Chains A and B, each alone.
Chain A
Amino acid sequence: AQKVTQAQTEISVVEKEDVTLDCVYETRDTTYYLFWYKQPPSGELVFLIRRNSFDEQNEISGRYSWNFQKSTSSFNFTITASQVVDSAVYFCALSDNTGGFKTIFGAGTRLFVKA
């Protein structure tokens, strides 16, 4: 079964707080890709990061960091020192060999960052 769960529907933080968005996935494949996308209020979907299943190194990009743990099937996303511009819906996604590397998305987590 191919599934992505983002249990947090909405998160509200105050600017400069750190926030972690959770993502848990299910797949039977050993080769797969995980992604995070950002959808700001303007509506476009912006690619943030891709990880393949053989690379468990955590990644940091500025205030963004990602923690990939195969043991718990999780790919969590942390924003450090959040800013109002981080307010958006964030989607975690999984692409595996089910149905020819179809990419499915979690339900999204809406992040509100208040000034």
Chain B
Amino acid sequence: DTAVSQTPKYLVTQMGNDKSIKCEQNLGHDTMYWYKQDSKKFLKIMFSYNNKELIINETVPNRFSPKSPDKAHLNLHINSLELGDSAVYFCASSQDRGEQSSGNTIYFGEGSWLTVV
């Protein structure tokens, strides 16, 4: 069973479109993340949610809006896509507190390759 799953895996779209990437984790973790990996492989955190509450919001354009309907899901919606949004987007989760704590260890999904043309 895939622990952190995200869809779609590949997405090619035109500039100006709106798209969403969905993420689900079945690890029972209380914290979920979106990371962006650019063409140089640099990994940067975008957002973090703990029990559906936004706790980290890095300097990300307003066109990016995360939504967490419950603690097992964290979706990423992107409006008015731009060429520079082309990247790999990784969803991840961790359990930072309690008996089941993963000690801040982040477990990643397989990534969503977004190409804006």
Interface of B is mostly: strand
Q: List 21 A-B contacts (CB under 8 A).
A: A39-B41, A43-B88, A43-B110, A43-B111, A45-B92, A45-B108, A45-B111, A47-B108, A52-B103, A91-B43, A95-B104, A100-B56, A101-B104, A102-B45, A103-B106, A104-B45, A105-B42, A105-B43, A107-B40, A108-B42, A110-B41
A64 at interface (Cβ–Cβ under 8 A)?
no
Q: Which residues of B contact A (CB under 8 A)?
A: 40-45, 48, 55-56, 88, 90, 92, 96, 103-108, 110-111, 113
Known: A47-B108, A91-B43, A105-B42. 10 other contacts (CB 8 A): A37-B108, A44-B111, A50-B105, A100-B48, A102-B48, A103-B45, A103-B106, A105-B44, A107-B40, A108-B43
Interface residues of A (CB under 8 A from B): 33, 35, 37, 39, 43-45, 47, 50, 52, 89, 91, 93, 95, 99-105, 107-108, 110
Taking a contact as CB atoms closer than 8 A, the residue among A47, A102, A107 that contacts B107 in the complex is A47
Give CA–CA (A37, B105) in the complex, Å: 10
Shortest A19–chain B CB gap in Å is 18
Expressed in whole angstroms, the Cα–Cα distance for A108 and B43 within the complex equals: 9
Q: Is the CB of B103 within 8 A of A100?
A: no
Q: Is the CB of A35 within 8 A of B105?
A: yes
Q: Do residues A107 and B42 form an inter-chain contact, with CB atoms below 8 A?
A: yes
Complex contact B103–A33 (CB within 8 A): yes
When distances are taken between beta carbons in the complex, the residues of chain A under 8 Å from B111 are 43-45
Question: How many angstroms between the C-alpha atoms of A39 and B88 in the bound complex?
Answer: 13
Q: Which A residues are CB-close (under 8 A) to B56?
A: 99-100, 102
Q: Chain B contacts of A89 at CB under 8 A? A: 41
| Among candidates B43, B48, B96, B108, residue contacting A44 with C-beta atoms closer than 8 Å | B108
What residues on B are CB-neighbors of A37 within 8 Å? 108
Across the interface, which residues of B come within 8 angstroms of A108, CB to CB?
41-43
